[in-house]
């Protein structure tokens, strides 16, 4: 069982008056050199403010505060190791969280095994002193860092922070619920592992983005080659599995929750402006398919879900039970190339008029009544694939990543995409052709013109596909295509 690394709580309170943000650190939470460096910066800043007679730190203190929070967040990526080191167990964190819950003036908090960050609306400095005292006595076995950071926030900033905490709290709840249920081992065989990673030229000092972290197979090879990796995934189970598998690489792995359609913003928000390479291994991972509760597979009974991000709004059941017959037929035809798309859509509409279609096997059985089984492929294969692509807007996300990917790269940076579906490969090929052609031509033009989008070169003339040995070991690799470009 994995414990959540952060427990966040925020009340739906609307702060009206002065709010305080309090940050307390377990003395051994960070490597001593990081904490020492931070303390020196803080003393220097406070001294500068004192010398200049400046009262407000113009956000500098907040930035330092954030820096420390990030350092700590990275340090607790390996939760078990750090817990043991910090001696501040999750059970204790939960206990503390419950105790604080009883405090009327505390609006929200974030607790990690080695830090406590509170937001409180108080009547004056004395209130803060009381709160700090209570916090340190409730956690008497924890040696707090000697200088808790206390900041005054105006109501608007406090509201913004609370809203962010509230969102985190919802995510953490979802993650810890899954953890409570016991995390299943994550077995995903990485496709075109060596080919894709080598194409990115990983090396010490390079920063690579793995936009589809999954179980961390590609990331591991990048880390082994010495690179720093920013891994994005929208699936909390994948993020947890990758964190566990790659914990030994410490701060060289940065895990980012989110959809790669927003990769540029997600990374810039966290301070990464440009990288040396970006990989996207499009599609789903084996554990997503193999887990009946995720609802991807027609082979096992489960809710008709198919969301890679369990917090996404629309599940497969929502589409199946609410899209029009024409929309359903379009989905099956466009994303699944299912020739019986109209008949399947018609059947769904007839059935759902009697009762909603809520499970994977219900839908699979219904498809079998339209399409009798022929050959080795299950009749529901194409329709399930189509629904999954629609639920997760996989083509929309890929298009957005293609459009923004190069902007994230330095000159000479490489952009590699592995696809498993002809529609996806077509999108990648079209985009890569568009940006690697020095000139464009039209029948009505007297001569070709320079291409304003010319910003990259093709690394391989043809897509890379799996070799015989990989195909023999992993039949899933048969449709994989790797395309790579390099930013000029």
Ligand X SMILES: C[S@@+](CC[C@H](N)C(=O)[O-])C[C@H]1O[C@@H](n2cnc3c(N)ncnc32)[C@H](O)[C@@H]1O
Q: Of the two residues 190 and 228, which places its CB atom closer to ligand X in the complex?
A: 190
Buried b (16+ CB within 10 A) or exposed e, 288-310: bbbbbebbbbbebebebbbbbeb
Q: Does 115 bind ligand X (CB under 6 A)?
A: no
- Confirm or reject binding of residue 315 to ligand X (CB under 6 A): no
Report the residue from 64, 208, 304, 397 that binds ligand X according to the rule CB under 6 A. Answer: 397
- In the stretch 215-234, what mask flags binding to ligand X with x, by CB under 6 A? xxxx-------------xxx
Near ligand X by CB under 6 A: residue from 25, 88, 90, 260: 260
Query: Which is closer to ligand X, CB of 24 or CB of 401?
Result: 401
Q: Does 277 bind ligand X (CB under 6 A)?
A: no
Q: How far is CA 475 from CA 32, 316, 416, in A?
A: 49, 26, 22
Tell whether residue 385 is a contact of ligand X (CB under 6 A): no
6, 139, 259, 341: which one contacts ligand X (CB under 6 A)?
Answer: 259
Whether 183 and 2 have beta carbons less than 8 Å apart is answered as yes
* Residue 359 DSSP class: B
Q: Least distance to ligand X from the beta carbon of 369, Å?
A: 32
Q: Are 281 and 418 in contact (CB under 8 A)?
A: yes
Structure tokens at 477: 């690799």
In whole angstroms, give the CA distance from residue 256 to residue 162. 21
Instruction: From 50-58, 85-93, 256-264, 374-382, give the range in contact with ligand X by CB under 6 A.
Output: 256-264
Positions 403 through 462 that interact with ligand X (CB under 6 A): none
Task: Kindly determine how many residues on this chain lie close enough to bind ligand X according to the rule CB under 6 A.
Answer: 22
Residue 289 sits in the site that holds ligand X (CB under 6 A): no
DSSP per residue, 114-178 = TEEEEEEE-SSHHHHHHHHHHHHHHTTTS-B-S--EEEEE-HHHHHHHHHHHHHHHHHHHHHHHH
Asked if 190 touches ligand X (CB under 6 A), the answer is yes
Residue pair 109/100 in contact by the 8 Å Cβ criterion: yes
Stretch that binds ligand X, among 46-54, 159-167, 213-221, 270-278 (CB under 6 A): 213-221
Strands 439-440 and 449-450: antiparallel
Q: Is 310 in the site for ligand X (CB under 6 A)?
A: no
- In this structure, are residues 391 and 328 in contact, taking their beta carbons and an 8 Å threshold? no
* The residue to which tokens 């027609």 are assigned: 298
214 forms part of the interface with ligand X (CB under 6 A)? yes
Residues that bind ligand X (CB under 6 A): 188, 190, 212, 214-218, 232-235, 238, 259-261, 281, 283-285, 308, 397
């Amino acid at each position: 069982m994995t414990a959540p690394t952060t427990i966040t709580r925020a009340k739906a309170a609307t702060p009206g008056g002065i709010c305080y943000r309090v940050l307390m650190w377990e003395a051994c939470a960070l490597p001593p050199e990081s904490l020492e460096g931070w303390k020196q910066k803080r003393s220097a800043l406070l001294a500068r403010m004192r010398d200049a007679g400046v009262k407000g730190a113009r956000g500098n203190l907040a930035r330092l505060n954030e820096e420390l929070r990030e350092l700590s967040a990275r340090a607790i990526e390996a939760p078990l190791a750090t817990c043991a080191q910090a001696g501040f167990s999750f059970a204790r964190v939960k206990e503390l969280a419950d105790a604080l819950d009883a405090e009327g003036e505390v609006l929200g908090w974030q607790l990690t095994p080695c830090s406590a960050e509170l937001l409180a609306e108080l009547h004056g400095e004395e209130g803060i002193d009381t709160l700090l005292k209570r916090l340190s006595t409730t956690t008497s076995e924890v040696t707090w860092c000697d200088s808790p950071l206390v900041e005054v926030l105006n109501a608007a900033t406090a509201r913004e922070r609370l809203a962010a905490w509230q969102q985190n709290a919802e995510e953490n709840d979802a993650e810890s619920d899954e953890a409570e249920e016991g995390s299943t081992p994550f077995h995903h065989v990485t496709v075109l592992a060596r080919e894709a990673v080598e194409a990115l030229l990983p090396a010490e000092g390079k920063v690579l983005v793995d936009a589809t972290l999954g179980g961390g197979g590609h990331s591991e090879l990048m880390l082994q080659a010495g690179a720093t990796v920013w891994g994005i995934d929208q699936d909390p189970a994948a993020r947890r599995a990758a964190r566990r598998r790659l914990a030994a690489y410490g701060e060289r792995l940065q895990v980012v929750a989110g959809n790669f359609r927003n990769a540029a913003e997600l990374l810039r928000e966290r301070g990464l402006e440009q990288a040396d390479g970006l990989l996207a291994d499009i599609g789903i991972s084996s554990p997503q398919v193999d887990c009946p509760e995720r609802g991807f597979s027609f082979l096992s009974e489960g809710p008709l879900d198919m969301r890679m991000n369990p917090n996404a709004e629309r599940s497969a059941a929502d589409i199946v039970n609410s899209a029009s017959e024409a929309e359903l037929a379009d989905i099956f035809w466009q994303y699944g190339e299912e020739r019986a798309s109209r008949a399947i859509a018609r059947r769904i509409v007839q059935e759902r008029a009697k009762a909603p279609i809520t499970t994977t096997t219900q839908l699979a059985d219904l498809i079998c009544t339209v399409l009798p089984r022929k050959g080795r492929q299950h009749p529901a294969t194409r329709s399930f694939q189509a629904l999954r692509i629609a639920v997760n807007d996989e083509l929309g996300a890929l298009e957005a990543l293609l459009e923004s990917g190069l902007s994230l790269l330095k000159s000479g940076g490489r952009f590699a995409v592995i696809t498993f579906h002809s529609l996806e490969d077509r999108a990648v090929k079209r985009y890569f052709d568009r940006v690697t052609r020095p000139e464009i031509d039209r029948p009505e033009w007297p001569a070709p013109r320079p291409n304003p989008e010319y910003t990259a070169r093709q690394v391989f003339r043809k897509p890379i596909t799996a070799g015989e040995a990989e195909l023999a070991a992993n039949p899933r690799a048969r449709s994989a295509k790797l395309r790579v470009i390099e930013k000029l």
